[in-house]
Amino acid sequence: MRKFDPWPVFFKREWKRNWPFLVGFAITGTIITKMSLGLTEEEAAKSKFVQHHKR
């Protein structure tokens, strides 16, 4: 006799509840990655944020 596997049921239920968070997290991560990869060394050197955190 095959045992019942609860994981597919769990993931289906949780996906319905959590998809907005996961999609928002993916979009935010993509935007941050694109912006940080587009930053040149010259722009980074002028940045107040980088200067403040550079030790």
Domain-located, residue 30: yes
Q: What CA–CA distance (Å, rounded) separates 38 from 40? A: 6
Which pair of structure tokens corresponds to residue 42?
A: 């010259």
pLDDT at 1: 78
Range of the domain at 31: 6-53
Instruction: State pTM to two decimals.
Output: 0.60
The number of domains in the chain is: 1
What string of pLDDT tens digits covers the 55 residues of the chain? Answer: 789 999 999 999 999 999 999 999 999 999 999 998 988 889 888 888 888 887 6
pLDDT at 45: 84
- 31 φ, ψ to 5°? -65, -45
Domain-located, residue 22: yes
pLDDT at 55: 67
pLDDT at 30: 98
